[in-house]
Structure formats: C-alpha cells, structure tokens
Amino acid sequence: MFYSILSNLDSFVSWLQTMLYVDVVQPVLFKIGMMGYDEDTYDALYWVIVGVLEVCAMYAILRPLEALRPAEEWKGRKGVRIDVLYTWIVKLGILNLFFFFTFQPLFDSMQSWLRLHNVPNLEIDNLWPGVTMQPLVTFLIYLFVLDFAGYWYHRLEHRFGIWWELHAVHHSQQKMSLWSDDRNHLLDSVMQASFFACIALVIGVEPSQFVVLVAISNLMQSVQHANIRLHFGWLGERIIVSPAFHRRHHAIDYGHEGMAYGCNFGVLFSFWDILFRSASFDRSVEPTGIRDQLGAPGVAPVHYGDGFIEQHWLAFKRIGARLTARRSAASPSTRRLMLPAPVRGVDDCLGRAAVIFSGRR
C-alpha cells in the first residue's frame, strides 16, 4: 500500500511537471535562448514541485497546531519571518538535486572500475534475497542508512568549533517554529547536500527514491521544530524524534553545552541517541537558543544576526576569530607566556596568585 501511495504521488508530480514544463518553462527557455539546459531544467522542476507541495502541506497541518497547542507563547513572531526565507531556499531542493546529479557520473565511473577489476559492489537490495528486494524494505533500509549518517553528521557539528559556528546559525533561533528546520548557513547546507548525495549514491539510491527520502526527512524535521507541545509517548519517543525530544536538543544548557557536547542529535529516529548514549527524554519546555546569547555579568551577549546576510557574515567572523585565537595560542611567544614561571618561595606564590585574581596578565 505504501508503495502504491508513492507511485500515485509520483504520477501526479510527473503529470504536473510535464504540464508546467511544456506550457510555462520551455517557452521561456526558448525565448531567452537557453534550450541547451532544457533537460536539466525539466529534471529540476520535479524537485521544485515536490518542495512547493511539501511547504504547503506542512503549513496547512502544522500552523494550526502551533496556534492551538503552542509549546511557548510569544508576544510577536518577529524573528520567525527570516526562517521562511531559509525554508523556501532549502525546500525547493536545488542544492540536493545539483550535488546528486553532479556526483552521479563520478560514481558511475567508480562502479565501472570496480566491475572491471572484479571488486564486489555494494548492493543493499541483495543483502537478503527475496526480502530486501521488496520496494518497501529497500526504501526503509535506505532511510535507516541515511539517518544513521545524519546522526553522526549532526553530532560532529556540535563537536568541532569551526563547524559549530556554521551550525550555530540554526541554534541561535530563540523562537522555534515549523520554519526553523531549514535555518542553516548556506555553506553548511552545501556540505550537507554533498554529503548525503554521496551516501545515497554509494548505497544505490535511485533519483526518484532520493527525492522521496529527502522530502520525508524534511517534512519530519519541520514537525520536530514546530512550536507544538507534543510527544509520542514512552515507546514512540524511543523510536521517532518528536517535537518534545528535539526541543530538548535546542534548549539552552542542554542541546549544545550539556551532556558533553549536547544531546538528542537524532534526525528522524531517536534510537540512535539511545544507542550512543546521547538521549535525554526530559519533556520540560526550556528556553531555546545558545547560552552566550544571554550574556553574563561583565560579558556582553553574543549577537548572531537578525537578517539573512548578517547571520552568514557573523558566522564567518566567528570562524575567523577562532582561527586567529588558535594561531595565537600556537605561536612560540604565546607558548612561552603560558609556561609557569619557577616558584622561588611563598612570597612569589602569593604575588602570582594576586595577579591572577586581579584579572591582570
């Protein structure tokens, strides 16, 4: 039944794709002299249609739920609007499609080389003859493999400082909503798109399947980020990532700073967090964002930007500051300053302690 539903959806999107291309897109390409790109444009149109339908579906379902059962009450929705721009950029799927088809010739060449040298190829659908060849089973295997890769991609984003500064654009949103999933630095989006395209090609995902896999993943992640007070019960929470489970990941002091570089990294399935000991099932509604946005006594809060351009630029500035600090710490002169001076007696120890506690260096 699942396969039948997907097949019907695919037929509908293909019909819409052909109609729009023949009646709208192709005449425009002909008029501006770009018919050399007609085949690529036709392929991209499928992904664009899926993205538009996805955005419409998630808004129709999730926006009423946010109004009826919000996890947080806001005085206004200022700060949410910029996420809508991110959503339209990402949900149209141009980046994913571009990297998938860009890497396709490379992987075709690699597979030809492997066959020529009698090297066994990775064929997931033949792992269990008669079972894994079933379309639904194969689809679920692809979904699990990509989600496992997504868990580690996400967890490593929190582990490495420079990478974190890109991902911090996503976490700096203090008003999580159905639009927040796609709030990512474009450089990070490019990295993700190329990473998952490579994984999909390695395990043998077909282009039509890749579109559906990405669409399902995107839709589920929109649900997770929605401002809805919702969980899936004791058992459900330990299988599927719910809004309550993922909100914990965005909570200040928990999602990034707590539990040794954060918790609840699962993209679709929460059992990866259980397996790798990064799960927190506390359903308390905590403020979302990053700790340094709040500031501290004597320390100004960090500003992550309000607009699209500013958020991207400030991320690069933070990366530059980290690299500068790293070079300074690695310089010989700095290392000499960091070496403890020889202690000559009690008076010397007291003098050094006074300097440290006074804040002077």
> What mean pLDDT do residues 194-208 have?
81
Q: pLDDT over 90 for what percent of the chain?
A: 42
Helix (H, G, I), strand (E, B) or coil at 299: strand
Helices (H), the chain: 2-20, 26-31, 38-68, 81-91, 94-116, 135-159, 161-171, 186-202, 207-225, 233-237, 243-250, 258-261, 271-275, 308-330, 332-338, 346-358
Does residue 24 surpass a pLDDT of 90? no
Does residue 255 surpass a pLDDT of 50? yes
Is residue 303 within 8 A of residue 168, CB to CB? The reply is: no
Residue 209 and residue 313 in one domain: no
Q: What would the pLDDT profile of 91-130 be if each residue is shown by its tens digit?
A: 876 666 666 666 667 666 766 766 676 655 566 666 666 6
pLDDT of residue 327: 85
Rounded Cα distance between 168 and 176, Å, is 14
In a domain, 171, yes or no: yes
In a domain, 109, yes or no: yes
In a domain, 287, yes or no: no
Looking at 197, 225, 253, which one is the last position of a domain? 225
Does residue 40 surpass a pLDDT of 80? no
pLDDT of residue 202: 80
In a domain, 303, yes or no: no
Residue 220 and residue 320 in one domain: no
Residue 51 and residue 166 in one domain: yes
Residue 211 and residue 312 in one domain: no
Amino acid (1-letter code) at residue 224: Q
Residue 322 and residue 186 in one domain: no
Residue 205 and residue 340 in one domain: no
pLDDT of residue 119: 59
Residue 52 and residue 183 in one domain: yes
Residue 216 and residue 323 in one domain: no
In a domain, 350, yes or no: yes
Rounded Cα distance between 90 and 51, Å, is 8
Looking at 166, 200, 225, which one is the last position of a domain? 225
Give the chain's end-to-end CA distance (angstroms, integer).
Answer: 70
User: Of the candidates 61, 73, 65, 71, which has an alpha carbon nearest to the alpha carbon of residue 283?
Assistant: 71
Please say whether the dihedral angle defined by the alpha carbons of residues 160, 217, 98 and 20, taken in this order, is positive or negative: negative
Per the confidence metrics, is the pTM higher than 0.85? Answer: no
Is residue 313 within 8 A of residue 305, CB to CB? The reply is: yes
In a domain, 180, yes or no: yes
Supply the mean pLDDT for the chain: 82
Residue 176 and residue 314 in one domain: no
Looking at 161, 196, 225, which one is the last position of a domain? 225
In a domain, 16, yes or no: yes
- 288: β partners: 251
In the structure encoding, which two tokens stand for residue 13, read together? Answer: 């999107």
Pick the residue with more confidence: 7 or 341?
7
Contacts of 345 (CB under 8 A, 6+ apart): none
- DSSP labels for 196-208? HHHHHHHTT--HH
Does residue 152 surpass a pLDDT of 90? yes
Range of the domain at 82: 2-225
Rounded Cα distance between 328 and 213, Å, is 45
pLDDT of residue 36: 78
DSSP one-letter code for 277: T
User: How many separate domains does the chain show?
Assistant: 2
Rounded Cα distance between 201 and 210, Å, is 9
Residue 220 and residue 322 in one domain: no
Residue 204 and residue 334 in one domain: no
Amino acid (1-letter code) at residue 164: W
pLDDT of residue 98: 62
In the structure encoding, which two tokens stand for residue 80, read together? Answer: 């949410």
In a domain, 185, yes or no: yes
State how far the alpha carbon of 8 is from the alpha carbons of 2, 3, 24, 214, 352, in Å: 10, 9, 24, 18, 76
> What mean pLDDT do residues 6-31 have?
85
